Amino acid sequence: MAKPAPMSFARALFSALAWAVQPLLRRKLRRRALAEPGYGVAVPERFGHYQPADLGRDGRGRWVWIHSVSLGETRAAAILIKALRERMPAMRLLLTHSTATGREEGAKLLQSGDVQVWLPWDTLGATQRFIAQFHPAVGVLMETEIWPNLIAGCANAGIPLVLANARLNAKSEAGALKMGAISRRTYGALAAVWAQSEEDARRLRNVGAQVSAVLGNLKFDVQPDEHLLSLAASWKQRLSKPVVLFASSREGEEAQLLGQLKSQPEAMQAVQWLIVPRHPQRFEAVAQQIADAGFAVSRRSLWGAQPPALANAIWLGDSLGEMPLYYAMSHLALMGGSFEPLGGQNLIESLACGTPVILGPHTFNFSQASELAVQAGAAIRSADMAQAVQDALAWVQNGADLEAARAKAHDFMAQHRGAAGATADAIVRLMNS
C-alpha cells in the first residue's frame, strides 16, 4: 500500500478551521431544521457517526458511492445511476448529500441493498470514519463538490474518486485560484475529472485538475416522467389562456415579475402566470408576496385533479417532484436565477419537455447550455424582467414562432444526448482497471 502523502500546512490549517466551526454547524442545522425538518434528520452522520454501527459494512469495498450535494445535482445523479444500473445490475449504491432537498429527492433512487447518508463535514476525523465505514470501490462527486480532507483521505486509502459532470464558472475559478496550493493539490488528487464542456475543462485545468475527458452534460439525457407529461397534456387542452411559467424563481425575482404585472395589466389578461420558487421553504413567503401585490393566488397543493378556472389569479407551484408537469403544461418558461446576479438555473429540463425558454442576463452557472440554446433558437435572452414580460407576450401571440421554437427545443436536446452512457462506461472502466 502506498504511503499516505504528508499533509501540507494549508490543509492542516483548513482542517483546524473545519474542526473549530463544528459548533456553528450544529447551530446552523438546528435553525435550518425549524423551516426544513430534513436538516434535523440523522445529524450524527454529518460528523461521521452512523447508526447502527455496522451500517454499510456488508458492502465494504463494493459500494458505488455517488455524492450529489443538492436537488439539481441529485437529478443529474439519477440519470447517471440509471445508466450504471443498466451496466451493473447488482450494483450497491451509496448515496450522499449535503442538503435536505437533495436527500429527499435521492431517497426515490434507492433500491434494496442501497444506503443513503449525509456526506460528513470535512474534518479529518469525520472523513476518516466515513471512509473506514464504507470504503467504496469508487466515489463519484457530482459537478462542483471539492473537499480537501475527503479527497486526500480517499487517495490515501486507494479509493478512486472522480469528479463527474464537472463544471466550473469564472467566479468559482477565481475563488479556487485564491486558495492556491490547497486547491491545486485537492483537484490534482482526483483519479479522474470528466468535464461538461471545453470551457469547463480549461478552467478546471487552470486550478490543478487533470481533466481526463469532456463528456458533455448529463442533464441532456433527462427523460421527463411520462405520467406527468400525459397529465400536463390533458390539462393544457382545457386551458383558456396560454401559460407562462416562472421556473425556479429566486429571492427578489418574484417581486420583479409582480411589479411588471402590475404595470402591464395586459400581461395578466393575455397570459396565465405560474410561479414555481426554487426553494420549497419559500412557498409561504411567495404566496404572501403575490397577495400583498394585490393578486389572487391559486396554489397547486389545493388544486386536486386539475387547475381551477380563476380569472386574474397567479398560480403558485408549491409541490415537489412535479417540474415536468409545470414545464409541459406551459407554453414557455422564464428561467429563475437569471434575473438577479445568481447565475441562472438549469434550462435543460424545460427544453426536454419541449418548452422554449426566456433567459435573463445572468446565466454564468449554465453559460454553455444557455448560449447553445439561444443559438439553436430554443431560447431567447431578455435584458431585464420588463423586456422578458414583453417577449413572453410576443411569443405566445405568435403561434407559428412558438411552435418552431418547441421543435428546435426537441432537436437541441437530441443533438446533445450521450453523456450518461459515456460517464457510466468511464466509471466501469475505472472500477475494472
Q: What are phi and psi of 178, to 5 degrees?
A: -65, -30
Q: Cell 427544453 appears where?
A: 351
Closest CA to 66 of 98, 40, 39: 98
Closest CA to 356 of 317, 395, 314: 395
Q: Are strands 115-118 and 138-142 parallel, antiparallel or unpaired?
A: unpaired
DSSP string, 294-357: T-EEEEGGGTTTS----TTEEEE---SS-HHHHHHHSSEEEETTTTTTT-----HHHHHTT--E
Closest CA to 198 of 407, 325, 65, 367: 367
Rg (alpha carbons) of the chain, rounded to whole number: 23
Q: Edge-to-edge, what's the strand order for the sheet holding 192-195?
A: 115-118, 92-97, 63-67, 138-142, 161-166, 192-195, 211-214
Q: Residue 163 contacts by C-beta under 8 Å, 6 or more apart in sequence?
A: 141, 143, 145, 146, 190, 192, 193, 194, 204, 209
Q: Is 145 a catalytic residue?
A: no
Q: How far apart are CA 345 and CA 359, in angstroms?
A: 10
Q: How far apart are CA 106 and CA 96, in angstroms?
A: 8
Are the CB atoms for 338 and 248 separated by under 8 Å? no
Indicate which residue of 45, 73, 143, 145 is catalytic.
Answer: 73
Are the CB atoms for 122 and 152 separated by under 8 Å? no
The Cα-based distances of 165 to 39, 93, 95, 196 in angstroms read 26, 18, 16, 5
**Alpha helix ranges (H) inside 36-99:** 71-87
DSSP 8-class letter at 288: H
Q: What are phi and psi of 27, to 5 degrees?
A: -65, -40
Q: Which residues are catalytic?
A: 73
